Structure 1
Amino acid sequence: MTDYDLLERQLTALLDTRDWLTNAAQTSAFLMQALDDLNWVGFYLQRQPETLILGPFQGLPACNPIPFSKGVCGAAARSRQTQRVDDVHAVPDHIACDAASRSELVVPILLGEEVWGVLDIDSPVPARFSHADQAGVEHLCRVFSDASDLIASTPPA
């Protein structure tokens, strides 16, 4: 079982700058190394209305852009709720960037009431993510948000 309290302390120490880009890159790399059985970890940012644009990530090249109306990432952004999917192939509008991905966890990152972006984590293992993983990753996303100046990444209106 993953020790998310330890991961929180480690990520907090790692994120020693307010720069959102540096922190997003560090968070992606940290999670890719700290969690087992992953094949992709990264951020998608809302840099255009109702559209997620690829940000820092670890893994194979990714799909870009992702509209809020499609896929698991879009569902997380649209609903502002974490999406934990045991079998991505059972999701009719799943966007398959890596055919090896079987399960997915997507956590929305909010700036006030607005969607700043999402953290997307994929695994080649079906049903890889438990309720405990969801709660732990949601908490790690708050560590990232609290450590980062997310407003600096928001495009002007």
Structure 2
Amino acid sequence: MSFESLKPEVKSILNTTDLSVDERLHKTCKLLENTVDYYNWVGFYFKNGDKDELKLGPYVGEPTDHTIIPFGKGICGQVAISNQNFVVPDVKAQDNYIACSITVKAEIVVPIFVNGENIGQIDIDSNTSNPFTEADERFLEFVCKEVAKILPASLF
């Protein structure tokens, strides 16, 4: 399935107002993980109140011990500071990588902005080496923009 054909499905899930925000985010994670072969762990992290750390939100994939990530630590923590997408073709080549699973070979993290503020991110791990392209980045930017529209004001 192409990213273009996934966009209406993402919008449909996120606009299902009879589900909670967490349920919609979880369903979005499931859609991406089930549809894109090389998306093996899909989850959201959000700024944890006024603390300089991220807190794990809805996700699908293997359980992780990384429920809180300090800003600057790991790929997610770096994105919290840089406000930039971070594509890691080979996690073994990253000094500041937090290993979640020995099977993970690559990672992509794209920030979520609300009113210009980085309030969270989507994080995707892959068990495939160097799978992410510019098309993944553009698609995940789309997902993050759609997610930003449904987030409660209490998050930021």
Shared fold by TM > 0.5? yes
Which structure 2 residue ranges, 5 or more long, are not aligned?
none
* TM-score for the superposition, normalised by structure 2: 0.90
Opposite residue 60 of structure 2, the aligned amino acid is Q
Q: Pick 1 or 2: higher relative contact order, CA cutoff 8 A, min separation 6.
A: 1
Where do 1:1-20 residues align within 5 Å? 3-15=2-14, 16-17=16-17, 19-20=20-21
Q: Are residues 1:92 and 2:95 paired?
A: yes
Q: Which of 112, 115, 137 does residue 112 from structure 1 map onto?
A: 115
What displacement does 1:10 show?
1.0
Question: How many pairs does the alignment contain?
Answer: 152
What is the aligned-residue RMSD (CA, Å)?
Answer: 1.6
CA distance in 2, matches of 1:19, 1:28: 14
In the alignment, what sits opposite 1:27? 28
- Provide structure 1 residue ranges, at least 5 long, that are not aligned to the other structure: none
The corresponding residue for 1:41 is: 42
Task: Tell me, yes or no, if structure 1 residue 82 matches structure 2 residue 82.
Answer: no
Does the CA contact (< 8 Å) of 1:20 and 1:152 recur in 2? no
CA-CA distance at 1:66 after TM superposition? 0.7
- Distance in 2, matches of 1:137 and 1:53, equals 20
Q: Deviations over 1:76-120 (max 9, x none)?
A: 111111111100111101000111111111011112232211100
Say which of 123, 134, 138 aligns to 1:135. Answer: 138
SS of the counterpart of 1:96? coil
Q: Quick one: distance in 2 between partners of 1:115 and 1:29?
A: 23
**Residue 89 of structure 2 is aligned to residue 103 of structure 1:** no
